[in-house]
């Protein structure tokens, strides 16, 4: 199996032609126009007609991975196909980290909202700000997306106050993981922010990797990141914030309810336990 190392991001303040040649040489594919359309092709339509705007296999042994570059034309746009994959082909779980989801309406947000309401599918995600219209009230349903928040008031020990500046850079990831626990596990990642702008106007990169090991790796990182901020959101929005963090003790007396009892009685926690067991 080949080794896949992922470096993604925007080509701001760099020589885009040299960047395209560098990565093209590594994967032995022609990316000559992928990042240089600003210099060589004056119109979006011009770039959208090149091979770089279509899915191109990375040619890796044992890893089904392909890449496409924006901007796309209406004929080869990817946003709707990604939304359809999320909405109609997610069978077990969906994890996402989408900067700008709070302000990006359209196919992706609608698909996530629909899947989030399906209590047979585990959904966990994060946006850089609160997403007001993805809310689930069912006790056994999915959580609304978490978002970066600083702890300031009623800060529990052993934490300390965090800076409140730089809100726009606290969460800038863009990835979607579908069904990590299935043979069909797949990951969408890149600078592409899953918006109409990224699809047909901006110069972006997007990879689709169909590999369970890679999907699991992303989910592990996603859970770490999401839980990090979920605690902050709960603490900030609680009627009475917890001021001291202490480890719960095991039962000491017969009949005493253990702290883990809710993992076997709360519908949401039962599903979490079974999925990650």
Domain locations in the chain as residue ranges: 16-246, 248-277
| Cα–Cα distance for residue pair 212/184, rounded to 1 Å | 7
pLDDT band at 58 (very low <50, low <70, confident <90, very high): very high
State the number of CA atoms in the 13 A half-sphere of 257 facing the CB.
Answer: 6
> What's the confidence (pLDDT) of residue 264?
93
Mean pLDDT over each residue of the chain, to the nearest integer? 76
> What's the confidence (pLDDT) of residue 69?
92
The greatest distance separating any two alpha carbons of the chain, rounded to the nearest whole angstrom, comes to: 77
State the number of CA atoms in the 13 A half-sphere of 192 facing the CB.
Answer: 28
DSSP state of 146: B
pLDDT band at 138 (very low <50, low <70, confident <90, very high): very low
Pairing of strands 205-210, 122-126: unpaired
Higher local confidence (pLDDT), 148 or 172: 172
Query: Minimum mean pLDDT among 36-40, 75-79, 156-160, 188-192: which range?
Result: 36-40
> What's the confidence (pLDDT) of residue 160?
61
- The answer to whether the CB of 242 falls within 8 A of the CB of 92 is no
For 27, left (φ over 0), alpha (ψ -120 to 50), or beta? Answer: alpha
Q: How many CB atoms lie within 10 A of CB 178?
A: 25
Query: Minimum mean pLDDT among 5-19, 53-67, 105-119: which range?
Result: 5-19
| Cα end-to-end span (Å), the chain | 28
Q: Where would I find the beta strands (DSSP E) of 101-255?
A: 122-126, 174-178, 186-190, 205-210
pLDDT value at 81 more than 80? yes
Q: Please give the average per-residue pLDDT across 193-215, as a whole number.
A: 91
Query: Minimum mean pLDDT among 51-55, 163-167, 204-208: which range?
Result: 163-167
pLDDT value at 187 more than 90? yes
| Cα–Cα distance for residue pair 133/243, rounded to 1 Å | 30
pLDDT band at 134 (very low <50, low <70, confident <90, very high): very low
Higher local confidence (pLDDT), 131 or 275: 275
B/e letters for 181-195, b = 16+ CB within 10 Å, e = fewer, are beeebbbbbbbbbbb
DSSP state of 147: -
pLDDT band at 29 (very low <50, low <70, confident <90, very high): low
Query: Minimum mean pLDDT among 52-61, 141-150, 224-233, 253-262: which range?
Result: 141-150
> What's the confidence (pLDDT) of residue 126?
78
The torsion angles phi and psi of 122, rounded to 5 degrees, stand at: -80, 125
| Cα–Cα distance for residue pair 161/268, rounded to 1 Å | 31
Q: Please give the average per-residue pLDDT across 14-27, as a whole number.
A: 54
Q: Please give the average per-residue pLDDT across 94-119, as a whole number.
A: 82
- The answer to whether the CB of 195 falls within 8 A of the CB of 99 is no
> What's the confidence (pLDDT) of residue 238?
65
Higher local confidence (pLDDT), 97 or 103: 97
pLDDT band at 273 (very low <50, low <70, confident <90, very high): confident
The torsion angles phi and psi of 65, rounded to 5 degrees, stand at: -135, 135
Q: Please give the average per-residue pLDDT across 43-56, as a whole number.
A: 81
State the number of CA atoms in the 13 A half-sphere of 185 facing the CB.
Answer: 15
- The answer to whether the CB of 164 falls within 8 A of the CB of 148 is no
3-state secondary structure of 116: helix
> What's the confidence (pLDDT) of residue 47?
81
Sheet containing strand 56-57, edge to edge, reads 56-57, 64-69, 205-210, 186-190, 174-178, 93-98, 122-126
> What's the confidence (pLDDT) of residue 42?
47
Pairing of strands 174-178, 186-190: antiparallel
> What's the confidence (pLDDT) of residue 59?
92
* CATH node for 16-246: 3.30.870.10
């Amino acid at each position: 199996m080949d080794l896949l190392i992922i470096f993604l991001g925007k080509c701001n303040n760099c020589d885009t032609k040299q960047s395209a040649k560098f990565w093209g040489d590594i994967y032995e594919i022609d990316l000559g126009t992928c990042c240089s359309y600003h210099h060589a092709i004056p119109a979006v339509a011009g770039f959208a007609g090149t091979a770089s705007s279509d899915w191109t296999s990375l040619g890796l042994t044992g890893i089904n991975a392909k890449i496409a570059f924006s901007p796309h034309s209406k004929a080869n746009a990817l946003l709707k196909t990604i939304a359809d994959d999320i909405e109609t082909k997610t069978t077990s779980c969906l994890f996402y980290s989408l900067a700008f989801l709070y302000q990006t309406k359209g196919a992706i947000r609608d698909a996530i909202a629909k899947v989030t309401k399906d209590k047979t599918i585990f959904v966990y995600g994060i946006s850089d700000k609160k997403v007001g219209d993805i809310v689930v009230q069912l006790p056994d349903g999915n959580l609304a997306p978490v978002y970066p928040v600083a702890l300031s008031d009623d800060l529990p020990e052993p934490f300390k106050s965090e800076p409140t500046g730089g809100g726009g850079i606290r969460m800038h990831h863009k990835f979607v993981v579908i069904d990590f626990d299935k043979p069909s596990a797949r990951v969408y990642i890149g600078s592409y922010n899953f918006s109409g702008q990224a699809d047909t106007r901006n110069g972006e990169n997007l990879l689709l990797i169909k590999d369970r090991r890679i999907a699991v790796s992303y989910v592990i990182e996603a859970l770490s990141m999401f839980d990090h901020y979920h605690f902050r959101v709960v603490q900030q929005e609680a009627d009475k914030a917890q001021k001291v963090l202490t480890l719960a003790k095991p039962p000491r007396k017969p009949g005493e309810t253990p702290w883990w009892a809710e993992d076997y009685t709360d519908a949401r926690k039962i599903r979490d336990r079974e999925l990650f067991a």
